[in-house]
Each structure stands twice: as structure tokens, then as C-alpha cells.
Amino acid sequence: MLNSDDALDTQASVRRANLRRALQLVFRGSGAQTRAGIARATGLTAATASSLVAELIESRLVVEGAQAASTGGKRATTLSVDAAHHLILVMVIRPTDARLALVALDGSEVDTRRIEYTAESRDDLIRHAVAQIAADHGDRLLIAGAQLPGTTDGRSVLESVQLGWSDVPLAERLESLLDVPVLLVNDVDAEAIAEAAMEDEASGYRLFIHIGVGIGAAVTLDGELAPGPRDRAGEIGHVQVEFGDEARQCRCGRYGCLESASSMTAMLGDDFTDAMDDGVITALAAGVDEHVFAEGARALARTIKLIAAVLDAAEVVIGGPVRALGEPFLELVRADLDYAATGTARVPVRYADAGAVISTGVAQFALTAALGVRWSPDQLRAASAH
């Protein structure tokens, strides 16, 4: 039998769950949802639905809008996401630059800043930029998310070869400046989250591969990230896939790693950086011998074939700067995949959705952590169009 404290805890838990359900319904139908619609969708009474909405309005999460179309009686008031108050700070940290964006609750970016640095100046410049955002917008910040290359447990950077960080308590350091919760997410995981967020439905296993200066992968199941128990799922860049005379030395010191053949640095040279725009990448690619791309595609296809066979993946999505190489590179990969190993099925391969802005994945990750809700694909497309 529950004691009084347990009963109160249970009631509070049910209340929080219902608030999340109501808020998600507003997120999915912003500008069209009503109190009556929430009551119908949840099975709650009209009085309870109205009470939930009142709390969401008071918390500056929901705002009333115009009256809905008449259905014969008194016209209901529509509800929308309140985009005028709370902000999510998202940080995309890369080896030579970082992009910081403030994202409103409707998914739109209201402020963006970019800083460039060297390995020596990086920590100070990031700290200064974050402190400035805290000074400018601290009273509106809800949560912050930082996306970076390397492994993380959500609080510390366990290891990042590209950033030269190992066991860095980055979330704690940023929280001391922002005074709001900070979450860390691997950059490839964030891209995979963004890809799933842009779809109405996603089913089965999907292998997402990012190719830039480094190579990493992430797996989603039915649109949800499927991380490993040791926070190292998808670390495929330094798995050996080439042998003998084919194997080239990798920056890690070993030979034949996937990155040594299929990373953008391996294919375009050491001048490549992840901060380059598509036009610069295309110009670099024009001076590269075709056999370099063929070798990169072959090593990548070997990797895809093995992982896709293990997962029985529904599809493979390739993201990152490699998209600037266009269909010719993708066709090389598909050509090397164009056989069905006994007992397996052919797996479709495509580039990632170009509609998602760079902050989409980490912003969605932070939003879900803070409020337990997700943006709709239509919201994200509308936000990226502005």
C-alpha cells in the first residue's frame, strides 16, 4: 500500500507525463491544436486538459493564438509553441572552428556565431564566446547541447583524436558559465538524430556514416539512436579494411584503416578541413585523380557491406562534407556494393537529407532531454527555410 509520500510522488509523476503528452501535441500541431483536441487525444477530461495547458502557458512553453474554425458551437482558441522566450544553446565544435546558435522552441535559429581558432587558442575562445552568450541571453536559456567529434558519455569527452581531448569534463566547465544543464553528443550521433528528425516515420535499422576529416558511424532503430553500452558505438574510422600493398599509413600510426582511404583528407589531401564550403571542396576534388576516389569508395563499400549484413540494415545514409562530391562518388560506392553476398540482401545507399541545418541534431537532442518532446519534420523544414 502506498504511503502519503509515495502517493504524492505518483501523482506528480502522472502529472509530468501528461504535461509532456500535452506539450508534444502542441509541438505536432502548433497553431492548430486546441484544449479540446488535447482532451480527445489523451482521453483526459476537459478540465484536466485546460489545467495542463494553463501550466504550459505559465511556463512560457505554449501561447494562445487565433480562434479555431467553428464546428457549430463556441470557437476554440488555438495553441502554439511559445517561441518568444526559452532558448536552446547549441554548439558545434570542430578542430578549427565552432558554430554557436541560439534556437527557439519552434526550431528557428535566432542568433548564430562562428569562431575560428588554433589548437592553442580554442579553449579560451570557446569559453569567451559562451560567457558572452550567457551575459546576453542567460535569463532565457533552457539547456545547452555541444556536438563534437569523438566519444562522450554525455558529460565528459572521453577521447577526441581530432580535438586532442581525453577525459575532459566539458559539460561541467560549460555549466559553470551558463548556469543551465549542458549535454554532450558525438557529432555523428547528432547527424543521425537530425536525419531521423526530418522524417515522419523511420523503421528498421539505419546505418549512418559521416565522412569528413574523420569517419564515424551511428545506428538508429525506428528513428531512435541505438548507442552502445560503453559509448563507443560507431567508432569505425580506425578499423583495418585494406591489407598488403593497398594499406596506407593512417594518422593513428597504423596501416589500412578506413580513414586512411575513405576520409576526405585521404581523398582530397591535408588542405581539406571540415569547415570548407561545398564550392571549395568541389574545386579541390577537380584536381584529384579518379583512382583515389575509386579506392576510397572501395574501402567504404567493404565496410558498409559487413556492417549492413550484421544489422540487416534497411538503408545506409552517408553524411558530412563528402556530400559535396556528389553522385559520382556515391555511384562508385554503389558499384562496389552491387552484389548480394550469400544470405544477405542488397542495401540502398544515399546521401543525408540536405534540408537539415547543422544544429538540428544537437538541438533535438537537447530539446528531448529538457522537455521530453520532439519537433515535427514540418517544423524543422520551416525553421531551416528561414
Go through the domains of the chain in sequence order and give each one's CATH number.
4-81 (1.10.10.10), 87-191+372-385 (3.30.420.40), 203-351 (3.30.420.40)
The residue type at 134:
A
- The whole-number pLDDT of residue 64 equals 94
Average pLDDT over residues 288-304: 94
Contacts of 346 (CB under 8 A, 6+ apart): 337, 338, 340
What b/e readout covers 277-310, taking b as 16+ CB neighbours within 10 angstroms?
Answer: eeebbeebbeeeeeeebebbbbbbbbbbbebbee
Instruction: Give the pTM.
Output: 0.83
For 152, list phi and psi in degrees, rounded to 5. Answer: -150, 150
- The whole-number pLDDT of residue 71 equals 60
Residue 2 in this model has a pLDDT that exceeds 50: no
pLDDT tens digits, 39-90: 999 999 999 999 999 999 999 999 998 776 666 556 789 999 999 999 999 9
Cell of 241: 579494411
Residue 358 in this model has a pLDDT that exceeds 80: no
| Strand 97-104 versus strand 182-186 pairing type | unpaired
Cell of 60: 512560457
Residue 328 in this model has a pLDDT that exceeds 50: yes
- The whole-number pLDDT of residue 233 equals 72
